[in-house]
Amino acid sequence: MVRQQYTLPELPYEYSALEPVISAETMRLHHGTHHAAYVKGANSALELLERSRTSEHDVDVSAVLRSLSFNVNGHVLHDIFWKSMRAPQKRNKPSAMLEKIFDETFGCFDDFISEFKHAALKVEGSGWAVLSKDPDNGILITQVEKHTVNHIAGYTPVLTLDVWEHAYYLDYRSDRGAYIDAWWDVVNWDFVEQRLTGNS
Ligand code: MN
């Protein structure tokens, strides 16, 4: 059976929809170039694996599997990232139900915000801050370096923040903290709630 290829998902909004928090230019490059490259890389890795089964062609399987993990995780984390956002809203807040979960886990919503920001600021090099659901339906803030390092098997990402330089340098230069602070205005809390409650 031929495995289905990965495809670049269309964004649920225009490239300019997140302005002024994230510029159209950043979105065009990020989605159209970077995310597209991860999709291409994932498909190339699958093709190489297929070739290693069907020919004498010598394939470095470890390298291919490393590439597959990097590119598939990049694809999935970006897909969630795009859906985690929508046009900026003033006083953008989660629902009362979601806020209750944050209160129970982190003390209060503001404590969640500051713990998440800390995780995002402290990613060494390129990576992500991720709000995840654990197998017992608890929530936890995790950090992923690159697209793969520190990922915990069985944890489901419900909200992802890309802090690779390509995600914010055009708009915020080296000020990652300003990018994180502005980002809360575009978070799509309805999507986060659907992911947490299993409806997305
Ligand atoms: Mn990215």
CA–CA gap between residue 138 and residue 93 (Å, rounded): 20
Ligand 1 mean position to 12 CA, how many Å? 17
- Which alpha helices (H) appear in 55-187, and where do they start and end? 61-83, 96-106, 109-121, 165-172, 176-183
CB atoms within 10 A of CB 161: 24
Ligand 1 mean position to 166 CA, how many Å? 6
CATH class of the structural domain 22-83: mainly alpha
Q: Per-residue confidence of the chain (200 residues) as pLDDT tens digits?
A: 556 799 999 999 999 999 999 999 999 999 999 999 999 999 999 999 988 888 777 889 999 999 999 999 999 999 999 999 999 998 899 999 999 999 999 999 999 999 999 999 999 999 999 999 999 989 999 999 999 999 999 999 999 999 999 999 999 999 999 999 999 999 999 999 999 988 65
Ligand 1 mean position to 58 CA, how many Å? 32
Ligand 1 mean position to 172 CA, how many Å? 15
The predicted model scores a pTM of 0.95
Q: Where are the domains of the chain?
A: 22-83, 96-197
Four-point Cα dihedral 40, 23, 118, 139, nearest 10: -60
What does CATH list as the number for 96-197?
A: 3.55.40.20
Write phi, then psi, for 41 (nearest 5 degrees): -65, -40
Ligand 1 mean position to 74 CA, how many Å? 7
E strand or H helix at 192, and its extent?
helix 189-196
